[in-house]
Structure 1
C-alpha cells in the first residue's frame, strides 16, 4: 500500500530484512533520495499501529550508498517493534523523521575508546566501528558487549572480521545465561568483569548504550576505575523515566498558562515542560530520552510561545515548520499544540 507522504517526513521503502538473532532483525531502508547521517545517530519512525501512529526512536546501525539500516529487537506483543517485525517486509513503506542525535564520535576527545553495550545497545557501536574501520583502521578500540544468551549476541561474525582489519580492536562478550560450550565471560556486568575485560577502562573514553540499569552500572565502574565523567557518554532513547511534576491544583489567578493539547484544555505551570504538564493531566505524548535528544516527543506549536532548550532532537527546518520538543519546551504564554 502506498503511503501518503507527509510534509517534513522521509518516505522510506524496505529493500530487505536480515535475521540477526531469533528476536532481532535488521531492516534495510531506502529513501527517494540518498540519506546522510553520522554514525551513532538515530531515526524516529512513524509506526502505523492499528489504534494510531506511534513514534519510536531506533539507532541507525549502518547503511551504504544513501540507504539506512535499523537493527531492532521485537519487544512483547502488540507494540511498535512487534509490528515492524511482522509488517515491515521487502517492498513495504514507512515514514520517518530525519536522522538526529549527538551520540557520535564527534564527542571524542581521547584516542583510546571503549564501547560498552548491552543487548540491542550494540547498534550505535557497530555503526561507529564500521566507520572507524573505513577511516581509521588503526584506532585503539576495546568493545565489551553483554547479551542474555549466546544466540542473542549481535554482530559476532562481523566483529571477528573487523578484528582482522583493525589490529588494535579487542572484543569481549559476556552472557548472563551461558549455554554448554560457552567460553566467554558470564553473568551480569560488574567491576571485576569489566575491568578484567578492559583493564585500562578508566583511561579510555567510553560510549555506552543498553538498558538504563546497565548504563548506570557501567558509569559507576568507569568512575571507580578513575575515569573522567566527561569522557563517559550514553545513548538514552527510552531509558530513564521522564520526571513528571507532582499533580497539584493550580490556584485561580496563580502562575499558570492555558494549554490546549489533543483537544483538551489544561493548565501548564512555567516551571514544567509541555510533556510534564500533559502527563500530569493524563494526556500521553510519546517520549524517548526526555532530554531533547531523540525527537520522539515532537509536537506542533499552533498558537503561543515556548522557551525550548533542545539537544539535537530537532532540526532548524522542523522548528521553522512550527515543531517543538515537548520534553524541552516550557510555555511563556497560553499555547496550543497538536500531536500530529
Structure 2
C-alpha cells in the first residue's frame, strides 16, 4: 500500500533499498536507547506503512550482521526515516550502532516490510499496548494519525521499568496535549529515586486495563513488547472476553513481513464446551464443570468453602495448593511467581483444564 502519490517525472523519486541510507542525526532517548535518523543521498522520499520495519546490514567485526528494527517515524513526514534502538546486555548489532554509527556514514537497508499497521486494520477506536522499545511502532502509527489532522481515538498504554526509561514520553505528551483523542497511560515497575511517580505502578493486569480503557472490547488492539509481556496481555484479554480476531502483535525477534508469516497464536483458552473435573483432596469431593468455570465457583457448587475476597486475583485470599493437573490462571498480582512455581493457584481466577487435583 503506497501512502504517497506518484511523484511524477519532475518530482522526487521514492526510495527503494537499492540505495544506501545516510545517517544524518542521532537523538539519545533514555539510557541505552537512541533514535537514528536517515535520509536518501539522492533526495528520494520514503513511502511505507506506519508500523513497518527495516532490516539493517551492520558492518560489525566478523562480517555483516542483519538486524530488524521497527520504523519509529511516520510516512506523513517522508523526507527522512528513523529507527529507535535499545541495547540489551547481549546486544551486538544495536551496541555497534550506539557506539560506532555516526552522522555521514552510509549503511545498507532492506525493506520497508511488515503487516503490523493500523492501515491494514481500519477501526474507529484503537488500543495500543507496549512495553519498553515496543513503543516504536505505536509511535509511528500515532504520529501518522496525529499528522492526518482529524482527531483519532487511541488509548496508548506503555510499560517501562521506571519513569526515566519511558521512551518518547515528552513527544507523546505533546501530541496528547494537542489532540484529546490520544489518551496516554504509563505503567512503571518502580519509582526513580528522589522523584515522585503518581501513575500506575506494578505489572499491567486486568484491573488496570479496565480502568485505563473501559471500552477495550470495542477497540482494535495492537501489542508489541517482550514475548512474556505479550503472552500476559493475550491471557488478560481472552479472559475478559475480548474478540482475539481483533488482536494484533509484533514480535521483537521475528517480525512478520507478510500475512502468511504471522504465526498462529497457540494460547490455552478455556472452552465452555469442554468438560473438566476437579478433585478436592482433603474433602474427598470430585466434581465436574466446564473449562470456563473457576475452581472457586466449582467448589461453591459442590458445597465447599474456599475463603475469598476480591474474586479478581488481587487479594490472594483464595490461594490454594494444586497437586496435579493444569489450570489457566490470569491473576492481577495476588500471587507471587515463587508460589506459582511451588504449585499454588488462586481459585478465583483459575480455570481447570482436564483433570485437576487441589488441596481443599
TM-score higher than 0.5: yes
Instruction: Give the alignment's TM-score, normalised by structure 1.
Output: 0.67
Separation in 2, partners of 1:10, 1:222: 43
Give the C-alpha shift of residue 138 in structure 1.
Answer: 1.5
Count matched residues: 241
Partner of 2:35: 26
Separation in 1, partners of 2:17, 2:140: 25
Structure 1, unaligned runs of 5 or more: 1-6, 239-287, 295-308, 312-340
Separation in 2, partners of 1:124, 1:207: 9
Q: Structure 2 matches for 1:324-335, cutoff 5 A?
A: none
Deviations 1:63-116 (A, max 9, x none): 533311101011225601100101111111111102000101123243111000
Partner of 1:182: 197
2:17–2:108 Cα contact (<8 Å) kept: no
1:118–1:211 Cα contact (<8 Å) kept: yes
Deviations 1:181-228 (A, max 9, x none): 011111122112222222221221101101111111111222222211
2:151 corresponds to 1:151: no
Partner of 1:326: none
Partner of 2:232: 217
Partner of 1:229: 244
2:47–2:78 Cα contact (<8 Å) kept: no
Separation in 2, partners of 1:105, 1:161: 21
Instruction: Give the alignment's TM-score, normalised by structure 2.
Output: 0.63
**2:83 equivalent among 70, 86, 89:** 70
**1:166 equivalent among 171, 174, 179:** 179
Separation in 2, partners of 1:232, 1:18: 32
Separation in 2, partners of 1:207, 1:62: 17
1:116–1:206 Cα contact (<8 Å) kept: yes
> Please, which moves more after superposition, 150-159 or 104-113?
104-113
Structure 2, unaligned runs of 5 or more: 1-15, 263-360
1:10–1:98 Cα contact (<8 Å) kept: no
> Please, which moves more after superposition, 163-172 or 40-49?
163-172
Partner of 1:48: 59
Deviations 1:1-52 (A, max 9, x none): xxxxxx9644011100001111110000112322211110000001111011
Q: Structure 2 matches for 1:1-340, cutoff 5 A?
A: 9-32=18-41, 33-62=44-73, 64-76=77-89, 79-179=92-192, 180-238=195-253, 288-289=254-255, 293=258
Q: Which has the higher contact order (CA 8 A, sep 6+)?
A: 1
Higher radius of gyration, 1 or 2: 2
**CA RMSD across the alignment:** 2.0
The verdict on how the C-alpha distance between 1:224 and 1:107 changes in structure 2, with shifts beyond 3 A counting, is: farther
User: Secondary structure of 1:61's partner?
Assistant: coil
Deviations 1:216-254 (A, max 9, x none): 11112222222111111001140xxxxxxxxxxxxxxxx
